[in-house]
Structures are given as structure tokens and as C-alpha cells.
A and B are shown apart, each in its own frame.
Chain A
Amino acid sequence: GQQVMQIPQYQHVQEGEDFTTYCNSSTTLSNIQWYKQRPGGHPVFLIQLVKSGEVKKQKRLTFQFGEAKKNSSLHITATQTTDVGTYFCAGPNTGNQFYFGTGTSLTVIP
């Protein structure tokens, strides 16, 4: 079956350092979404990328969708304590199923 893997699984950074999580799908995705889930909370939508090679920015966050539409990345510049949480990539397959990645848990040390 389809797999969506993310690396790293965990990341600890000092406040102010940058952070990147990478997402790889075993199959081509028509689009990719990113969600953030705070500890004890529910996933919150961040962004959706649709086009091959697309890059989108939201303040300190930069999202990329790979040329082959099988991988994506999220980069956070100058992390803050409010960035703490688990970041998931997610996307649909051709069978109308929606797959979440394994997630990257970010800890920011003040």
C-alpha cells in the first residue's frame, strides 16, 4: 500500500535555529497538504501545494512540492517556541484515500 514517510521523526532545536522536515511518498500525489498538531490538540491545516515544483511561503515557513510530486519539504526559519508541535504532510491517492505522513515532532528549546 501507499506509504508517506517523513524524516526526521524527532527534532530538537534551539530557539532561533532553522528546522526542516522532509516528506516522501511511495506514489505520486495529486496535491500535498501540510498540517500542524500541537501536543494534545488536533491537526490544523497549514497549506496546500498542487503544482509540480511549487514553492509557497507563509512568513517564516517555506513549503516545496517536488518535481515528481512524490516529495515535499517544510522549512521553518528562526524557530520560535510557538512552532512546537508535530508537522504532518498528507495527500490523496488515486483511490480517493487520504494518507498522512509519519510526522516530525519539533521541540524548540528556549
Chain B
Amino acid sequence: DAGVTQSPTHLIKTRGQHVTLRCSPISGHKSVSWYQQVLGQGPQFIFQYYEKEERGRGNFPDRFSARQFPNYSSELNVNALLLGDSALYLCASSLYLRAGLFNEQFFGPGTRLTVL
């Protein structure tokens, strides 16, 4: 079976632009989470989605939004890009247990976003 896939692998944008990142979970996984990882730091939790609904949200501004589709794939959208949004964006899929209980997460290779 294929692992978690993300697209694109790399992206260069300028300040003020908008970006959409995509993620396909492992077959059978219904939960997708998004993380931002700045170089040299640990991943920062952005969102968790399950059954097309947001189940958890990290401390990120409203410029960040996401959605999950009926096939459990997901998109992360970031509006009005800032230089500080430059990071590796990771998607992780998992078997959803219940709210507040995170199961083993399988990460994709990430999308490297550079904002100029």
C-alpha cells in the first residue's frame, strides 16, 4: 500500500499570495492532521480532521484553513503569506479513535514552502 502522499514537494511563493497544499492519507485512515515544521524545530500542530470535520486546531491565525474531502484526502490553505510561513508542511494520517486521543501517526514527505 502507498504511504501518505503530499503535493507539491516544493513551492515558492511571494508575500501576500495564497497557497494550497494537498494530502492523501493511507488507505483506510480517516483522520488527517497538518503540521508546520520550521527548520531546527519540532512540528507544530495546525489542524486535525476526521470525517470532514475539524476535530482539533492549533494556535495558528485564521489565515490557515483546511478541509477534508469524502475520500479523506485533505487540503491546507494559507492566505496572505508572510515570510514566516516558510517551512516544511507535514501531513499525517491515522486511525481515529476519539477526540483527544491521537493514535500512531504516519507522516508524508512534506511540502517545502518558501515565501519570498
A82 CB within 8 Å of chain B: no
Contact status B90-A42, CB under 8 Å: yes
Interface 9-residue window, one of B13-21, B39-47, B61-69, B70-78: B39-47
Contact A42 B100 (CB under 8 A): no
Does chain A have a CB within 8 A of B110?
Answer: yes
Which B residues from 66 to 116 make CB contacts under 8 A with A?
A: 90, 92, 99-110
Count, A-B residue pairs, CB within 8 A = 64
How many residues belonging to B are interface residues under a CB distance threshold of 8 Å? 27
Give the distance in Å from the alpha carbon of A101 to the alpha carbon of B107 in the complex. 16
A80 at the interface (CB under 8 A from B): no
- Min CB distance B86 to A, Å, is 17
Contact with B along A94-110 (1 / 0, CB 8 A): 11111111110000000
Taking the closest CB of chain B, its distance from the CB of A71, in whole angstroms, is 16
- Asked whether A100 lies within 8 Å of B42 as measured between CB atoms, the reply is yes
Contact at A48–B104, with CB atoms within 8 Å? yes
Measured between beta carbons, the chain A residues less than 8 angstroms from B104 are 33, 45, 48
User: Are B101 and A88 within 8 A (Cβ)?
Assistant: no
Task: Determine the chain B residues whose CB is within 8 A of the CB of A96 once the complex forms.
Answer: 48, 55-56, 99-100
Instruction: Please report B residues at the A interface, Cβ cutoff 8 Å.
Output: 33, 35, 41-45, 48, 55-59, 90, 92, 99-110
11 further interface pairs, Cβ-Cβ under 8 Å (given A33-B102, A43-B105, A90-B43): A1-B59, A42-B109, A45-B104, A88-B42, A88-B43, A95-B100, A96-B48, A97-B56, A98-B56, A98-B58, A103-B42
